[in-house]
Structure 1
Amino acid sequence: MAWTLVTPSSRGIGFALTRHLLRTLPASVPVVATARSDLAGVKENLLSSIELSESQSARLDVQECDVLSENSIVKLAGYCENRYNDRSKDKNAHLRLGLMVPGMLVPEKAPDKIEYDSALDTLKLNLLAPMMLVKHFSGFLPRKSATLEGEDGLPKSAMLALMSARVGSIGDNRLGGWYSYRASKAGVNQLVRSTDIFLKMKNGDNAMCVGLHPGTVKTSLSEKFWESTPKEKLFSPEFSAESLIIVINGLEETGRGRCWDWNGKEVPP
């Protein structure tokens, strides 16, 4: 059985990605979503105002996870292994798509604007959180010997997709600033590459890791920049989520270990 994961899912791009998967995936594919609290409320919000069959709604599984706590991630991983990835019961059980999207932004304009605590918080949430998620969920991807079946709405190979950003590109950095955010997203790109090398050795063509750049999305993370962003470049979470899933599902083996934007263009290292 193939299953999917979106973490966190309570708001923003993670919320939109979860709803998109619920609308488009076969009812047989579970969607695990996470939140730090108010699980019932998050589940109600995820299911509100979208037309789903009873089976489509029933496969949504909202679980508690604080991505800043490794113990919380371990607890979630243990639950998912027992519920969805127990290969003693189903040898084909595997995580088909893991969307790991935690993020925050503090836009420091100059070195003297960097504050230690906020920079550390940025690095923890943007880089260490996905690193711990990769640590505890990469083992659920299909093994090299597995034979993957095609699933509508899902990529050909199993995939861990980590949220990066264009400003994480060192080669594309022409403006400077945003020190902690740029550094954390550059670190995500390195994490993607190293993880993908590992998956290539262990899982072969059955699993890969990629980075994603969603564009400037109208969420709380980018709220300070809504007015300064051209309207045609400020995306709704729904548009960005749909675009990213299209990109993910269209990636071939040659696209592994790299960062891709919402329009399917590579973000340079």
Structure 2
Amino acid sequence: MQPWALVAPASRGIGMEFARRLLQTTKVPVVATARKDLDQTRENVLKGLNDVSEDRLKVVRVDVIDEQSISDAAEQVSKLYPKKEAYLHLSLCIPGILFPEKAPSQINYDDALLTFKTNTLGPMMLIKHFSPFLPRKSANLSEESGLPARATWMNMSARVGSISDNGLGGWYSYRASKAALNQTTKTFDNYLKMSSGEKAISIAMHPGTVKTGLSKEFWSNVKEEKLFSTEYAVERLMEVINTRSLDDRGKCWDWKGEEVPP
């Protein structure tokens, strides 16, 4: 069976770099998603990758707060990679938005709702519509260089989603949405134990502070050696993803390969 990878979204930042790295370091087809400007996303992902076959990259429209767009994308992908012939080997699910409330008085209902729609419900709906592409217990997996030994669904979380590690407070909606995402990751992994056995796992990851639009206003508060480029962050994250064992499933890991406590 033909393995393929999903990066959602891949229009900028970490997602774009994940798509570029998969094209450079693996041989599998990559499905990248973007909310708009699909042609521009495709051009940006492929920029400078002269030795990569452009046919390996498919860009489809997904707006993670619009379930119909996710359903439509899954239908489109099912025609590109039929389940009887191909399977999803690596899913990198990384939508994120941040409104940094420092005090309860700063919590805005609409902003908090958008945070949960993007950070929690978005990945949940991606799981709903794309998890059927993951291998079942009976599937024969392909060994692919640059990819984990078993199919892996990765949700991009954050250390601030840890309840036991919360010593500072603040960031109410962001913290809560990522804590909920960690619970979603664990719950989904329990499902995969039944549906896929040892053929597929789900994990969450904390990338550190990366030079992206999400964290831009906080760069000045981070030591230079702890402020990562997207290239470095993705390199480290892929190293961790590719070395997870069955004992690591359902948990949240940071870019160093250390577990983020629940």
Give the TM-score, by structure 1 length: 0.95
**2:64 and 2:228 mapped to 1: Cα distance?**
25
Q: Which residue of structure 1 aligns with residue 29 of structure 2? A: 30
The answer to whether 1:201 aligns with 2:200 is no
Instruction: Say whether the 8 Å CA contact 2:4–2:89 is kept in structure 1.
Output: yes
Q: Which residue of 1 aligns with 2:61?
A: 64
TM alignment of 1:91-130, pairs within 5 A: 93-130=86-123
How far did 1:49 drift? 2.2
- Indicate if the aligned counterparts of 1:161 and 1:211 stay in contact, CA closer than 8 A: yes
Q: 2:82 & 2:9 partners in 1: Cα distance?
A: 20
Q: CA deviation at 1:17?
A: 0.7
> Secondary structure of the equivalent of 1:204?
coil
- Shift of the alpha carbon at 1:156? 0.7
Residue 260 of structure 1 is matched in structure 2 by 253
Q: Which residue of 1 aligns with 2:72?
A: 75
Percent identity of equivalent pairs: 54
Q: Report the residue type matching 2:14 in the other structure.
A: I
Instruction: Give runs of aligned pairs for residues 46-57 of structure 1, distance below 5 A.
Output: 46-53=45-52, 55=53, 57=54
State the 1:230 CA deviation: 0.3
Structure 1 residue 40: Cα displacement: 1.0
- Choose 175-184 or 78-87, whichever is displaced more: 78-87
Deviation at 1:205, TM superposition (A): 0.1
- Report the residue type matching 1:192 in the other structure: T
Rounded Cα–Cα distance in structure 1 between residues aligned with 2:178 and 2:170 = 13
Show the counterpart of 1:86.
83
Secondary structure at 1:125's aligned position in 2? Answer: helix
State the secondary structure of the residue aligned to 1:99: strand
Match of 1:171 in 2: 164
Candidates 216, 228, 243, aligned match of 1:250: 243
Residue 2 (structure 1) aligned with residue 3 (structure 2): yes
Map Cα deviations across residues 51-95 of structure 1 (whole Å, 9 max, x no partner). Answer: 423x3x2201111111110000000111111211331xx2xx210
Number of aligned residues:
261
Mapped to 2, the partners of 1:211 and 1:178 lie a distance apart of: 19
| Equivalent residue, structure 1, for 2:18 | 17
Report if aligned partners of 1:85, 1:95 keep a CA contact under 8 Å in 2: no
CA drift at 1:174: 0.3
Aligned residues of 2:83 and 2:133 also touching (Cα < 8 A): no
* Cα distance in 2, alignment partners of residues 58 and 178 from structure 1: 42
Q: Distance in 2 between matches of 1:209 and 1:181?
A: 21
| Letter paired with 2:116 | L
User: Residues 6 and 90 of structure 2 are in contact (CA less than 8 Å); yes or no, is this contact kept in structure 1?
Assistant: yes
Contact 1:7-1:33 at 8 Å conserved across structures: yes
Q: Is the 8 A contact 1:106 1:178 kept in 2?
A: yes
Shift, 1:147, TM fit: 2.0
For the aligned residues, what is the CA RMSD? 0.9
How far apart, in 2, do the equivalents of 1:6 and 1:163 lie? 11
Residue pair 2:4, 2:29 contacting (<8 A) in 1 also: yes
1:240, 1:209 → 2: CA distance?
20
> 2: distance between equivalents of 1:208 and 1:36?
27
Q: What runs of 5+ residues in structure 2 fail to find an aligned partner?
A: none
**Would the aligned equivalents of 2:205 and 2:255 in 1 still touch at CA under 8 Å?**
yes
The partner residue of 1:229 within 216, 222, 230 is 222
Deviation string 1:91-133 (CA, Å, 9 cap, x unpaired) is xx21000101000111100111101010111011000000000
CA distance in 2, matches of 1:41, 1:114: 35
CA distance in 1, matches of 2:83, 2:193: 23
Runs of 4+ with >2 A deviation = 49-53
What TM-score, normalized by structure 2, do the two folds share?
0.98
Preserved CA contact (<8 Å) 2:3 2:142: no
**Equivalents in 2 of 1:85, 1:94: separation in Å?**
8
